[in-house]
Copies of this chain bind each other. A is one copy, B any other.
Amino acid sequence: MPAEDELDPVIHAPVRLRVLVTLATLRDGDDLSFTRLQELLGLTPGNLITHLRKLEDAGYVTTAKEGSGVTSRTSVSISQQGRKALDNYTAILRQLLDSASANGTSPH
């Protein structure tokens, strides 16, 4: 885990941020197939595998392979730890972005 006020580098990489955000839209216990996730994000299998591995190493996503051969399906879901890390990341980032909006040219 990164420092409390630091943008988690595991999440900050744009592809991984998009993966986590997409998985976070699922209800608890639901998952997406690897193939569907790949389609949604427009990624090559190799690219998605690389980033999923980093997210899995951090404990933010879990993957499970069901079946074998041509009928196999790899499911991907976000963990509770992943949701918590994403929430924390989002809060830090929103605070940072809000401070930029509070400037002289576009006050609110």
A residues near B (Cβ < 8 Å) are 6-7, 12, 14, 17-18, 20-21, 24-28, 30, 83, 86, 90, 93-94, 96-97, 99-105
Contact = CB atoms under 8 A, between A and B. Distances in A.
B96 A17 contact: yes
Interface of A is mostly: helix
Contacts of A20: 100
A14 B17 CA distance: 14
Which of A14, A102, A103 counts the most chain B CB atoms within 10 A?
A103
Given A14-B7, A14-B12, A21-B99, A28 B104 contact: yes
Contacts of A28: 104-105
